[in-house]
Amino acid sequence: MSITDTTPASAGADTDVRVISHWIDGAERPSTSGRTAPVYNPATGAVQAQVALADQAEIDEAIASAQRGYEVWSRFSIAKRQTVLFAFRELLNSRKQELAEIITAEHGKVVSDAMGEILRGQEVVELATGFPHLIKGAFSENASTGVDVYSLKQPLGVVGVISPFNFPAMVPMWFFPIAIAAGNAVVVKPSEKDPSASMWVAQLWKEAGLPDGVFTVLQGDKLAVDGLLNSPTVQSISFVGSTPIAQYIYETASRNGKRVQALGGAKNHMLVLPDADLDLVADQAVNAGYGAAGERCMAISVVLAVEPVADDLVAKISERIAKLRIGNGAGVDGVEPDMGPLITDVHRDKVSGYVDIAEADGATVVVDGRGFSVDGHEDGFFFGPTLLDNVPTTSRAYTEEIFGPVLSVVRVETYDEGLDLINSGQFGNGTAIFTNDGGAARRFQNEVQVGMIGINVPIPVPVAYHSFGGWKQSLFGDSKAYGVHGFDFFTREKAITSRWLDPATHGGINLGFPQN
Ligand code: NAD
């Protein structure tokens, strides 16, 4: 179940550890805050860098620079903005391998998976290049005699993007291409666990010709987040992360009069009807449950098996787990494993704790990933793929998000029992149904209380021209990420009623409410 990696655990660890700092005014800005946090290589467990944690002076400087950038950029013509976006897309496409390797070094996911997240982000860049069509207003000639009514969509100003560790490239790219296309300036606050991807992106924007200050990277922790939330200059917040923080962001930003979209956690169920092809289901459950070590907000974490298929399905999933190769996501001698480590040792221990809870609550641990280690990488934050069966739905291991390579099987007797379980959960991010019955699938898409649904598709992340977002505790606010929602979120509309006076149609004095 593991591949042997002979690279010493300490290799790559910089004894004179570099500091990853901010990107302000079109250049790297060394931090003077005196505050830092460690950035690990999760495969080795070594601290490979320190990331700066902004103080209030740096936060103010970043936001002021973004405001200046906005004042320049928002006056660029549509054609000039489009030229920069196309240049950025070309640079990203030609150099994405560099970014994939940066992601793997700090996040731990395998390089091909890092490439997958870049490609999904690049889709949004490509959508954004078509922005002139998506931000143009409407025109109604002669709405009343001699009166025309039309609308304009204008940028908001400085907008904040706060992202989680699990998609350091893709999640910011859900927002900034559209925000920038629409004429805004963006301040990205990356996760302090993998801060380098955003710095690489900032350099790319510079090379693409984006004016200084339009794309800013503010490294930091709660202080930086609160700085964005409380700044009167920042007009909107786009947040992705865990549910308690999403709720805090939503409440604080709303109270401060900002637009806010705050995407939270998930617990995605796969409902397997007895007529489904169980080999297909087992393949997809393993891909969606253990890909990126389960650290995906659209990962499948619960398989709801409608009897009598559970015994067969558990056997098929177990067989597949036995063949998975776990190791350094960067690969060894050109061979890439299937799954890398978790983000930190603290997170690995939390995942392990949930398996303890499930077991204590009566679940069967069919495949146990606790205590897993990779030869040559004993200090890496690895956790083996874990399969739990008969998980009680009262257990915290069922009701809470685990965010690791732990797949729970829950056995149900009917479609309705499975549907009720999905609909009674706190989250509503993604779900999937596996069946060959079109009527059942159609009923499911109508009845399930979840924002993104897969029909024989395990990770139904919508393409860029549809929008991404869950229901219930998975999304606070009424605006999803990217697609048409994205363009609406990052623009403000004006409606203009216009009459060019001519003496023949001028109605004279009339204090009544204007009518048609
Ligand atoms: P997190 O909530 O810990 O952190 C997200 C961001 O919030 C980071 O930039 C972090 O620095 C900041 N933050 C953390 N604590 C804060 C606090 N007390 N005050 C202010 N800011 C704070 O999330 P994470 O662990 O980085 O990411 C994993 C979570 O993100 C999971 O719950 C996952 O489901 C969720 N996620 C959701 C989606 C989605 O689309 N719904 C997508 C990706 C990840």
Over the stretch 300-355, which tens digit does the pLDDT of each residue have?
999 999 999 999 999 999 999 999 999 999 998 889 999 999 999 999 999 999 99
Residue 481 lies inside a defined structural domain of this protein: yes
CA 322 distance to own-chain centroid? 30
Give the CA count within 13 Å in the CB-facing half-sphere of 342: 25
Dihedrals phi, psi of 406, to nearest 5 degrees: -125, 115
Cα(240) to ligand 1 centroid in Å equals 6
**Token pair listed for 5:** 């990696």
Q: 281 and 171 share a domain?
A: no
Q: 64 and 203 share a domain?
A: yes
482 Cβ closer than 6 Å to some ligand 1 atom: no
Strand, helix or coil at 34? coil
Q: Are 226 and 63 in contact (CB under 8 A)?
A: no
Q: Which structural domain range is residue 66 located in? A: 19-264+474-495
Tally of domains in the chain: 2
Q: 106 and 241 share a domain?
A: yes
Q: 205 and 278 share a domain?
A: no
Residue 9 lies inside a defined structural domain of this protein: no
401 Cβ closer than 6 Å to some ligand 1 atom: yes
Cα angle 266, 384, 264 (rounded to 5 degrees) comes to 15
Residue 409 lies inside a defined structural domain of this protein: yes
Cα(241) to ligand 1 centroid in Å equals 3
Q: Cα–Cα distance between 15 and 5 in angstroms, integer?
A: 22
Confidence of residue 216 (pLDDT cuts 50, 70, 90): very high
CATH of the domain at 171: 3.40.605.10
| pLDDT at residue 3 tops 60 | no
Q: Cα–Cα distance between 320 and 431 in angstroms, integer?
A: 22
* Phi and psi based region of residue 371 (left: phi greater than 0; alpha: psi -120 to 50; beta: remaining): left
Question: Nearest-CA neighbor of 171 among 461, 466, 471, 491?
Answer: 461
Residue 180 lies inside a defined structural domain of this protein: yes
Q: Are 340 and 42 in contact (CB under 8 A)?
A: yes
Q: 75 and 212 share a domain?
A: yes
| pLDDT tens figures, 230-257 | 999 999 999 999 999 999 999 999 999 9
| pLDDT at residue 366 tops 60 | yes
Q: 29 and 125 share a domain?
A: yes
| pLDDT tens figures, 255-312 | 999 999 999 999 999 999 999 999 999 999 999 999 999 999 999 999 999 999 999 9
| pLDDT at residue 113 tops 80 | yes
Q: Are 208 and 202 in contact (CB under 8 A)?
A: no
Q: 186 and 310 share a domain?
A: no
Confidence of residue 413 (pLDDT cuts 50, 70, 90): very high
Residue 361 lies inside a defined structural domain of this protein: yes
pLDDT value for 7: 33
Region 37-41: mean pLDDT is 98
Query: What H or E segment, with its residue span, contains residue 29?
Result: strand 27-29
Residue 393 lies inside a defined structural domain of this protein: yes
The residue among 6 and 146 whose pLDDT is bigger is: 146
Q: Which residue's structure tokens are 């229901």?
A: 471
Cα(500) to ligand 1 centroid in Å equals 52
Read off the DSSP letter of residue 337.
Answer: -
Dihedrals phi, psi of 207, to nearest 5 degrees: -65, -30
Residues 6+ apart with CB under 8 A from 102: 196, 197, 200
245 Cβ closer than 6 Å to some ligand 1 atom: yes
268 Cβ closer than 6 Å to some ligand 1 atom: no
| pLDDT at residue 8 tops 70 | no
Q: What percent of the chain has pLDDT over 90?
A: 92
Q: Are 481 and 238 in contact (CB under 8 A)?
A: yes
Question: Nearest-CA neighbor of 51 among 167, 212, 221?
Answer: 221
| pLDDT at residue 201 tops 90 | yes
Q: Which atom of ligand 1 is nearest to the CA of 190?
A: 9
Read off the DSSP letter of residue 291.
Answer: G
Residues 6+ apart with CB under 8 A from 121: 167, 169, 170, 171, 172, 173, 174
Confidence of residue 501 (pLDDT cuts 50, 70, 90): confident
Q: 56 and 122 share a domain?
A: yes
Ligand 1: which of 225, 248, 461, 474 to mutate, most ligand atoms within 8 Å of CB?
225
pLDDT value for 1: 41
Q: 260 and 199 share a domain?
A: yes
Cα(291) to ligand 1 centroid in Å equals 19
Q: Which of 44-58, 417-431, 493-507 shows the lowest mean pLDDT across its residues? A: 493-507
Q: Cα–Cα distance between 367 and 166 in angstroms, integer?
A: 24
Supply the residue whose CA is at minimum distance from atom 36 of ligand 1: 241
Q: Are 148 and 201 in contact (CB under 8 A)?
A: no
188 Cβ closer than 6 Å to some ligand 1 atom: no
225 Cβ closer than 6 Å to some ligand 1 atom: yes
Dihedrals phi, psi of 140, to nearest 5 degrees: -120, 110
| pLDDT tens figures, 220-233 | 999 999 999 999 99
Supply the residue whose CA is at minimum distance from atom 34 of ligand 1: 265
211 Cβ closer than 6 Å to some ligand 1 atom: no
Residue 507 lies inside a defined structural domain of this protein: no
Q: Are 54 and 37 in contact (CB under 8 A)?
A: no
Q: 432 and 409 share a domain?
A: yes
| Mean pLDDT of the residues in the chain | 95
Residues 6+ apart with CB under 8 A from 167: 117, 121, 240, 296
CATH of the domain at 438: 3.40.309.10
Strand, helix or coil at 499? strand
Confidence of residue 515 (pLDDT cuts 50, 70, 90): confident
Please say whether the dihedral angle defined by the alpha carbons of residues 164, 168, 174 and 178, taken in this order, is positive or negative.
positive
pLDDT value for 512: 86
Strand, helix or coil at 59? helix
pLDDT value for 516: 67
Q: Are 174 and 481 in contact (CB under 8 A)?
A: yes
Q: Are 428 and 473 in contact (CB under 8 A)?
A: yes
pLDDT value for 504: 64
Residues taking part in catalysis: 297
189 Cβ closer than 6 Å to some ligand 1 atom: yes
**Token pair listed for 105:** 């070094």
Residues 6+ apart with CB under 8 A from 12: 41, 44, 46, 48, 105
Query: What H or E segment, with its residue span, contains residue 22?
Result: strand 22-24
Q: 297 and 197 share a domain?
A: no
pLDDT value for 509: 80
Q: Which atom of ligand 1 is nearest to the CA of 265?
A: 34
Q: 147 and 161 share a domain?
A: yes
Residue 502 lies inside a defined structural domain of this protein: no
Q: Residue 6: is it exposed, middle or buried by C-beta count within 10 angstroms (0-12/13-18/19+)?
A: exposed
What is the pTM assigned to this prediction? Answer: 0.95
